[in-house]
C-alpha cells in the first residue's frame, strides 16, 4: 500500500483534495488522523477572500454542486495557519492566482518561508469553474496559459510543483504536456466539472448563492478516468487522479487509468471522514483478493497491450 | 429505493404562524412535521439573500425562533403567515439525556433558550423533569418563557440589569442547584457555556453545550465551522462539556468567513 510523494513516504496514495475540510490546520490534522496519506490545504490567494454568499453547496440527483469562491485568509495568514507541519502525512500547499504574476508572487512568498513550513509540494489550481477572475472563467487551462503559469511558479520556488487541470476544458493532454514542458513535477488531473446549475422549482430560482457551481461526486468519475487515461499515455510526470473517487474500487480504477495517487473530496459528503481509512482498507482487500502486493503493479495497467 | 434520491433535499413549506417574541426575535411555525431531534439545526435558505444555520425550537410543527441580526434573519423577521420558507436539514448531533436521568437542567442565554424548549418537551414525554434557567440582558430579552412553563418543572429568569428575575447572569441561579441534577445543558453566549461546562466538570455533572460557528456547507465538507479540529456542523453542534473544554478555541477564538482566526 505504501506510496511516496516527491521523496516523502506516504502510508497510502490517498490525498485529501483541496477545498475540502482544509480551511484550518487542526481540520487537516483531523483528516490525517482519519487515514489519508497526504493533504492539500485550502487554496490561498494573495489577499484574504470571504468567498461567495450562500448557499455554497447544493446536492443534486447526481453529485453535488459547490460554489465556495475561494474563501481563504490570504497567503500570509494561510502560511501561518498551515506552516510548521511535522506529521508523517505530506502537506501540499495550494495556490490560486489571477495571472502568472500572481502565481509567481504566491510561489515566492512560500519559498521565503520554506524552512518553517514543512510542506512537500505546491499545487497550482488553474481549473476552478465558478470564481470570476480565476480558473476556467478567465481561460486558464489553455496550453499557453498553463505553460506561462507553470514557468512563473517554477522560477520562484524550489518546491515540486503540481498543476491542477480542469476536466471541463477540452484538450487536457495538450495542457498536461505544456505543464510538463514548462517544468511541472506532477499533474493533478481533475476538479469539479462545469459549471452547472440547480434551480429550485418551488422558489423558481438558482439555489447556489453564486447561481452556478462545480459538479463533483460519483457522476464525474467517468470523465476524470478518461482524462487521466489520456494524459497518462502522453506525459512522463506522475498524476494525481481527482474526480468522483468514492470507494476503494474507484481508486483502483483511477490508478489503472494511470494515477499514481488519488485525491478524495466529495466522498466525505457521502461517507463521512472515515472514508479515508475505508478507502485504504477497500484498496487493500481488493489487492489481496486479486494477488497484488504493490500499487506499482496497478498504476497504468489499463494501458497495457495484450 | 430510488437511486437518485437526495440525502438532503431542500424543503419549501408554508409558514402557519408568526410570533414576534420581542423587539428582534421572531418565531416562525412551519407546516411540516420534521423528523428532527432537540439540538439539531436547519440550514435556512432565503433565495437571493443567503443561507444560515438556525436551531430547531420544535419539530411538530417545525419551529425556528430567530433574532434579526443579519440579512437572512432580517428576511425571516419579515415573513408573514401564509408565505413560504425554504430549508434543508435536520443536521448535526442532537442533545442526549443519560439513561437513568430523572431531572435535567437547561440553561439558555437570550434566544439560546429556544432549543431548550424542544429538549424539555422531549424530556417531559419521557417522564424526566426539566428545569430551565433563562438569562438575558434585560426583561425585553427574555423569550419563550411561557412556552417553557408548559413543558418544565420550574423556570428561573436572570437579567443583567435586574429588570426581571434575579439580577446577574445565569450562574447565580445555576451554582446553588447544579448538583441536584442528573444532566445540565447550555445554549447561548460562548463564555456562558464555558462557565457552565466548567461548573459541571467541578461538580461531576453530565453536561452538553450547543456550539455556534460561521457555517457554510452544514454537512461536514467545507471545514468553515471548525473549532480546533472539530466541525460544528457534524461533530456538533452539541458537544459534551468535557469535550468542549478540551478545544482551545472554544470561548476564545472563532473563524471568519475567510477562515481567519479572530478573538471571540
Render pLDDT for A194-248 as a digit per residue (tens, 0 to 9). Answer: 999 999 999 999 999 999 999 999 999 999 999 999 999 999 999 999 999 999 9
Min Cα distance A207 → chain B (Å) is 7
**A78, closest residue in chain B (CA to CA):** B260
Of A22, A266, A269, Cβ closest to residue B223: A22
Q: Looking at the domain assignment, is residue B72 inside a domain?
A: yes
Instruction: Tell me which of B71, B91, B111 is where a domain ends.
Output: B91
Best mutation target, A28, A55, A94, to test chain B (most B CBs within 10 A): A55
- Same domain (yes/no): B244, B206: yes
Q: Residue B186's domain spans which residues?
A: 103-263
Together in a domain, B251 and B135: yes
pLDDT-derived band at A139, boundaries 50, 70, 90: confident
Domain check: are B132 and B237 in the same one?
Answer: yes
| Residues of B with Cβ-Cβ distance to A68 under 8 angstroms | 216, 222
Strands A161-165 and B10-20: unpaired
Interface mutation vs chain A, best among B91, B256, B259, most A CBs within 10 Å:
B259
Question: Does the beta-carbon distance from B258 to A48 stay under 8 Å?
Answer: yes
Distances (CA, A) of A91 to A32, A114, A130, A295, B130: 10, 13, 25, 21, 48
A286 — contact with chain B (CB < 8 Å)? Answer: no
Whether B257 sits inside 8 A of A71 (CB atoms) is yes
Residue of chain A nearest B43, judged by CA positions: A55
Average pLDDT over residues B141-163: 96
Give tens-digit pLDDT for B171-190: 999 999 999 999 999 999 99
Do B35 and B163 lie in one domain? The reply is: no
Cell of A116: 518553517
Residues of B in contact with A60 (CB under 8 A): 6
**B168 and B129, same structural domain?**
yes
User: Is residue B250 one of the residues assigned to a domain?
Assistant: yes
User: Last residue of a domain, which of B91, B120, B155?
Assistant: B91
B252 lies within 8 A of chain A by CB: no
- The share of chain A scoring above pLDDT 90, in percent, equals 94
| Cβ density class B32-58: b for 16+ within 10 Å, e for less | bebebbbbbbbbbbbbebbbbbbbbbb
Residues B41 and B128 in one domain: no
CA A198 to chain centroid, in Å, comes to: 24
ipTM rounded to 2 decimals: 0.93
Nearest to B220 among A22, A78, A272 (CB): A272
Q: Does B101 touch chain A (CB under 8 A)?
A: no
Query: Please, which pLDDT band fits residue A59 given cuts at 50, 70 and 90?
Result: very high
| Active-site residue, A128 included | yes
In a domain, B2, yes or no: no
Q: Is residue B123 part of a domain?
A: yes
Q: Check residue B5 and give its pLDDT.
A: 84
How many distinct structural domains can be found in chain B? 2
- Mean model confidence pLDDT for chain A: 96
Between chain A and chain B, how many beta carbons pairs sit less than 8 Å apart?
Answer: 126
DSSP structural state of residue B67: E
Domain shared by B230 and B119, yes or no: yes
We report the CATH number of the domain holding residue B128 as 3.40.50.80
- Partner-chain contact B228 A42, CB within 8 Å: no
Residue B96 lies in a domain: no
In CATH, what number is assigned to the domain containing residue B68? Answer: 2.40.30.10
Is residue B177 in some structural domain?
Answer: yes
Q: A267 in contact with B at a CB cutoff of 8 Å?
A: no
Dmax (CA) for chain B in angstroms is 58
B128 and B254 both lie in a single domain: yes
Residue B132: phi and psi, rounded to 5, are -125, 140
Per-residue model confidence (pLDDT) at position B4 = 77
What number is the average pLDDT over the span A87-101?
A: 97
B253 and B129 in a common domain:
yes
Looking at the fold, whether B19 and B86 belong to one and the same domain comes out as yes
Q: Are residues A200 and B12, on separate chains, in Cβ contact within 8 Å?
A: yes
| Co-location of B71 and B117 in the same domain | no
Is B262 an interface residue toward A (CB < 8 Å)? Answer: no
B226, A26: Cβ pair inside 8 Å? yes
A296 touches chain B (CB under 8 A): no
B72, B199: one domain: no
* pLDDT tens-digit series, residues B126-148: 999 999 999 999 999 999 999 99
The predicted structure's pLDDT at residue A55: 98
Chain A residues with CB-CB distance to B216 below 8 A? 51, 54, 56-57, 68, 71
Strands A186-189 vs A161-165: parallel, antiparallel or unpaired: parallel
Of all helices (H) and strands (E), which one includes residue A57?
A: strand A57-59
B3 domain residue, yes or no: no
Buried b (16+ CB within 10 A) or exposed e, A174-211: ebbbbbbebebbbbbbbbbbbbbbbebeebeebbbbbe
Strands B206-210 and B183-187: parallel
Closest listed residue to residue A28, CA positions, set A122, A93, A113, A100: A93
- pLDDT at residue number A160: 98
Q: Do B229 and A29 touch (CB under 8 A)?
A: yes
Supply the pLDDT for residue B167. 96
Task: Give a yes or no: residue B18 inside a domain.
Answer: yes
Determine which of B75, B215, B221 to mutate to test the interface with A (most A C-beta atoms within 10 Å): B221
Share of residues in chain A with pLDDT > 70 (%): 100
Dist CA B222 CA B217 (whole Å): 6
The residue out of B91, B126, B155 marking a domain boundary is: B91
B6 contact residues in A (CB cutoff 8 A): 59-61
Instruction: Encode pLDDT of B76-105 as tens digits.
Output: 999 999 999 999 999 999 999 999 999 999
CA distance A167 to A261: 17
Q: In this model, does residue A169 exceed pLDDT 50?
A: yes
B228 near A CB under 8 A:
yes
Which one-letter DSSP state was computed for residue B64? E
Q: Are B64 and B28 in contact (CB under 8 A)?
A: yes
DSSP structural state of residue A84: S
Chain B, residues 48-77, CB within 8 A of chain A, namely 48-52
Domains plus CATH for chain A? 3-47+70-199+216-303 (3.20.20.70)
Amino acid at each position: 500500500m505504501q506510496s511516496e510523494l516527491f521523496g516523502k513516504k506516504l502510508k497510502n496514495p490517498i490525498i485529501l483534495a483541496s477545498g475540502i475540510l482544509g480551511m484550518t490546520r487542526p481540520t487537516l490534522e483531523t483528516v490525517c488522523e482519519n487515514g489519508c496519506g497526504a493533504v492539500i490545504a485550502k487554496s490561498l490567494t494573495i489577499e484574504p477572500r470571504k468567498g461567495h454568499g450562500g448557499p455554497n453547496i447544493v446536492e443534486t440527483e447526481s453529485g453535488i454542486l459547490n460554489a465556495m469562491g475561494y474563501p481563504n485568509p490570504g497567503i500570509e495568514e494561510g502560511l501561518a495557519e498551515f506552516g510548521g507541519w511535522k506529521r508523517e502525512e505530506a502537506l501540499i500547499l495550494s495556490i490560486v492566482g489571477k495571472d502568472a504574476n500572481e502565481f509567481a508572487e504566491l510561489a515566492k512568498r512560500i519559498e521565503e518561508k520554506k524552512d518553517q513550513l514543512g510542506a512537500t509540494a505546491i499545487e497550482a489550481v488553474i481549473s476552478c469553474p465558478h470564481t470570476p477572475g480565476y480558473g476556467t472563467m478567465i481561460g486558464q487551462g489553455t496550453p499557453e496559459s498553463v505553460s506561462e503559469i507553470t514557468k512563473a511558479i517554477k522560477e520562484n520556488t524550489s518546491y515540486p510543483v503540481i498543476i491542477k487541470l480542469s476536466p471541463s476544458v477540452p484538450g487536457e493532454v495538450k495542457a498536461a504536456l505544456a505543464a510538463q514542458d514548462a517544468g511541472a513535477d506532477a499533474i493533478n488531473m481533475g476538479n469539479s466539472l462545469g459549471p452547472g446549475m440547480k434551480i429550485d422549482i418551488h422558489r423558481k430560482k438558482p439555489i447556489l448563492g453564486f447561481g452556478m457551481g462545480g459538479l463533483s461526486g460519483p457522476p464525474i468519475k467517468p470523465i476524470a478516468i478518461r482524462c487521466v487515461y489520456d494524459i497518462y499515455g502522453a506525459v512522463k510526470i506522475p498524476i494525481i487522479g481527482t474526480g468522483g473517487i468514492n470507494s476503494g474500487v474507484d481508486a483502483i480504477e483511477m490508478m489503472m487509468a494511470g494515477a499514481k495517487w488519488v485525491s478524495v473530496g466529495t466522498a466525505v459528503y457521502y461517507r463521512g471522514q472515515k472514508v479515508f481509512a475505508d478507502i485504504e482498507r477497500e484498496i487493500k482487500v481488493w489487492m489481496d483478493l486479486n494477488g497484488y502486493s504493490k500499487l506499482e503493479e496497478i498504476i497504468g495497467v489499463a494501458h497495457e497491450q495484450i | 429505493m430510488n437511486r437518485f434520491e437526495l440525502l438532503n433535499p431542500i424543503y419549501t413549506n408554508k409558514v402557519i404562524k408568526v410570533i414576534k417574541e420581542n423587539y428582534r426575535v421572531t418565531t416562525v411555525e412551519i407546516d411540516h412535521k420534521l423528523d428532527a431531534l432537540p439540538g439539531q439545526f436547519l440550514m435556512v435558505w432565503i433565495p437571493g439573500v443567503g443561507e444560515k444555520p438556525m436551531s430547531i425550537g420544535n419539530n411538530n410543527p417545525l419551529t425556528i425562533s430567530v433574532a434579526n441580526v443579519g440579512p437572512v434573519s432580517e428576511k425571516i423577521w419579515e415573513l408573514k403567515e401564509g408565505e413560504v420558507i425554504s430549508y434543508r436539514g435536520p443536521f448535526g448531533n442532537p442533545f442526549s439525556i443519560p439513561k437513568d436521568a430523572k431531572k435535567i437542567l437547561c440553561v439558555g442565554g437570550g434566544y439560546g433558550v429556544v432549543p431548550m424548549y424542544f429538549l424539555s418537551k422531549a424530556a417531559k414525554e419521557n417522564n424526566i423533569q426539566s428545569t430551565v434557567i433563562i438569562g438575558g440582558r434585560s426583561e425585553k430579552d427574555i423569550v419563550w418563557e411561557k412556552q417553557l412553563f408548559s413543558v418544565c418543572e420550574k423556570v428561573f429568569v436572570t437579567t443583567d440589569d435586574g429588570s426581571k428575575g434575579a439580577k446577574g447572569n445565569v450562574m447565580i441561579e445555576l451554582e446553588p442547584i447544579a448538583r441536584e441534577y442528573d444532566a445540565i445543558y447550555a445554549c447561548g453566549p460562548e463564555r456562558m457555556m464555558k462557565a457552565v461546562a466548567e461548573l459541571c466538570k467541578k461538580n461531576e455533572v453530565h453536561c452538553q453545550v450547543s456550539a455556534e460557528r460561521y457555517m457554510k456547507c452544514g454537512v461536514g465538507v467545507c471545514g468553515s465551522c471548525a473549532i480546533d479540529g472539530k466541525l460544528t456542523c457534524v461533530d456538533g453542534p452539541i458537544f459534551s462539556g468535557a469535550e468542549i473544554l478540551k478545544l482551545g478555541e472554544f470561548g476564545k477564538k472563532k473563524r471568519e468567513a475567510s477562515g481567519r482566526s479572530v478573538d471571540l
